[in-house]
């Protein structure tokens, strides 16, 4: 099958491309840059911006299914940049599906679309957890709008599904883990609250597998069509155990120091004001949204994904740590 992956050069994007090629599909990736790793896989690469509708429509010519994985992520930045990438970009992908007769769309969303301050999510599903109503982060807000557009587009001509993988990690991660390691080594990493809130994470191979499983079952009228699903390893652990396990595997020092939620939240508000008013580079070290996320329980029930498209995590948290440690030693 001829498949288009948006953002195929990223961490999850490359895993999707590898898996699709291994399954015998003809894969094209729509990226902002050029990636030697994709070239080595034999993936056809098209360079362009998701906000350019004509470029996205052209990229979908002859395509039978799209994995819409590209997005602007992060904890900080102008709302307009997030809106262009995540909302306008998704609208353009949907327009490309209509214009080129693409029949299946697998959309990579995020659990952040359901964020509601410090309201815990414990064992929730895509059907039981409502969308967030006070999303302070532009990433979460724009991804919510994007997911809603994708699900609303589901019909007899275009089957759509949204997957919400929680905190993807593993060998090859060039975003989450490197930031954690750098902050731990510099002594700037803290647990918000007591660190005993339980959270879910997703090993990279499991995140990709969920996409492949949904792809295999997705069709007009299928049980998963028009629905959103939380995706994780299904092994909730405390934030303290999760972070320190990842840091150990990466050869970085563990953390024990904590920061009260109230202090972290206030610091986040101050940082947001400073980064808004002053020409400061990089992301602020704390935001209100991040303080809420780090101090709140977030874990999910995988039963709907198992029931509707057969998703069962194949790599356990412990095995993933072993693979991460081996990759870190050989780096």
Following DSSP, what letter does each residue of 283-331 receive, concatenated?
--S--HHHHHHHHS-EEE--HHHHHHH-----S-HHHHHHHHHHHHHH-
Quick check: 25 and 1 in contact, CB under 8 A? yes
Ramachandran angles phi, psi of 107, nearest 5°:
-105, 130
Residue 282: predicted pLDDT:
85
pLDDT of residue 195: 95
Distance CA 206, CA 203 (A): 5
Q: Domain span at residue 95?
A: 2-173+200-235+299-315
What pLDDT, in 10s, does the model give residues 110-159?
A: 999 999 999 999 998 988 999 998 788 999 999 999 999 999 999 999 99
Strand order in the sheet with 26-31: 44-47, 26-31, 2-6, 65-68, 104-108, 159-165, 227-231
Number of neighbours of residue 237 by Cβ within 10 angstroms: 16
The structure's pTM equals: 0.96
Q: Is 323 inside any structural domain? A: no
Is 106 in contact with 163 (CB distance < 8 Å)? yes
Would residue 272 count as lying in a domain? no
Closest CA to 90 of 145, 30, 17: 145
* Residue in the structure block whose two tokens are 């699900």: 151
DSSP H or E segment with residue 54? helix 53-59
Within the chain, strands assigned E span 2-6, 26-31, 44-47, 65-68, 104-108, 121-124, 159-165, 168-169, 191-192, 198-199, 202-203, 227-231, 237-238, 258-259, 298-300
Total count of domains within the chain: 1
Share of the chain above pLDDT 70, in %: 100
Could you tell me if residue 284 is inside a domain? no
- Indicate if 79 belongs to the active site: no
Cα 168 to Cα 77: distance, rounded to the nearest angstrom? 21
Question: Which of 157-166, 173-182, 280-289 has the highest mean predicted lDDT (pLDDT)?
Answer: 157-166
pLDDT of residue 246: 97
Q: Please, are residues 93 and 70 in contact by the beta-carbon 8 Å criterion?
A: no
CA distances from 75 to 120, 237, 292 (A): 20, 23, 12
Q: Is residue 285 situated within a structural domain?
A: no
- Give the model's pLDDT for residue 89: 98
Task: Categorize the per-residue pLDDT at 174 as very low, low, confident or very high, splitting at 50, 70 and 90.
Answer: confident
- Write down the catalytic residue from 139, 229, 300, 311: 139
Region of 63 on the Ramachandran plot (φ > 0 left; ψ -120 to 50 alpha; else beta): beta
Residues 84-101 have pLDDT tens digits of 999 999 999 999 999 999
Q: pLDDT-based confidence at 198, cuts 50/70/90?
A: very high
Q: Which CATH number goes with the domain that contains 117? A: 3.40.50.720
pLDDT digits (tens, 9 = 90+) for 238-273: 999 999 999 999 999 999 999 999 999 999 999 999
The rounded distance, in Å, linking the Cα atoms of 254 and 108 is 31
Average pLDDT over residues 48-62: 97
Of 57-61, 159-163, 253-257, the one with minimum mean pLDDT is: 253-257
Residues 6 or more apart whose CB falls under 8 angstroms from that of 162 comprise 107, 108, 109, 147, 150, 151, 227, 228, 229
pLDDT band at 225 (very low <50, low <70, confident <90, very high): very high
Tokens of 329: 């030693």
* Residue 49, in any domain of the structure: yes
100-104, 130-134, 212-216: the lowest-pLDDT one: 130-134
Residue 75 has pLDDT above 90, yes or no: no
Q: Please indicate, yes or no, if residue 248 is contained in any of the structural domains.
A: no
Answer whether residue 276 is part of any domain.
no
Residue 20 lies in a domain: yes
């Amino acid at each position: 099958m001829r498949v288009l992956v948006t953002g195929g050069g990223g961490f999850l994007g490359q895993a999707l491309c590898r898996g699709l090629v291994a399954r015998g599909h003809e894969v094209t990736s729509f990226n902002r840059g050029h990636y030697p790793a994709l070239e080595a896989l034999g993936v056809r690469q098209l360079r362009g911006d998701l906000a350019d509708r004509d470029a996205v429509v052209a990229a979908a010519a002859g395509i039978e299914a799209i994995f819409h994985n590209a997005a602007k992520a992060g904890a900080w930045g102008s709302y307009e940049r997030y809106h262009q990438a995540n909302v306008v970009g998704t609208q353009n992908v949907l327009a490309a599906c209509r214009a080129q007769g693409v029949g299946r769309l697998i959309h990579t969303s995020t659990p952040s679309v359901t964020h509601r301050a410090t309201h815990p999510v414990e064992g929730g599903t895509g059907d039981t957890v409502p969308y967030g109503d006070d999303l302070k982060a532009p990433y979460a807000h724009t991804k919510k709008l994007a997911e809603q557009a994708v699900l609303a587009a589901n019909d007899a001509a275009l089957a759509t599904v949204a997957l919400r993988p929680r905190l993807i990690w593993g060998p090859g991660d060039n975003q989450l883990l490197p930031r954690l390691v750098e902050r731990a080594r510099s002594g700037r990493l803290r647990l918000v609250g007591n660190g005993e809130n339980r959270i879910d994470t997703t090993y990279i191979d499991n995140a990709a597998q969920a996409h492949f499983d949904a792809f295999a079952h997705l069709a007009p009228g299928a049980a998963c069509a028009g629905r959103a699903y939380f995706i994780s390893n299904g092994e909730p652990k405390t934030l303290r155990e999760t972070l320190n396990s990842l840091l150990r595997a990466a050869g970085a020092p563990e953390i024990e120091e904590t920061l009260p939620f109230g202090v972290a939240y206030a610091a986040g508000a101050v940082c947001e004001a400073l980064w808004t008013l002053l020409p400061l580079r990089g992301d602020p070290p704390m935001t209100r949204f991040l303080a809420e996320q780090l101090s709140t329980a977030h874990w999910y029930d995988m039963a709907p994904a198992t029931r509707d498209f057969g998703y069962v995590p194949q790599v356990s948290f412990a095995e993933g740590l072993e693979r991460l440690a081996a990759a870190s030693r050989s780096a």
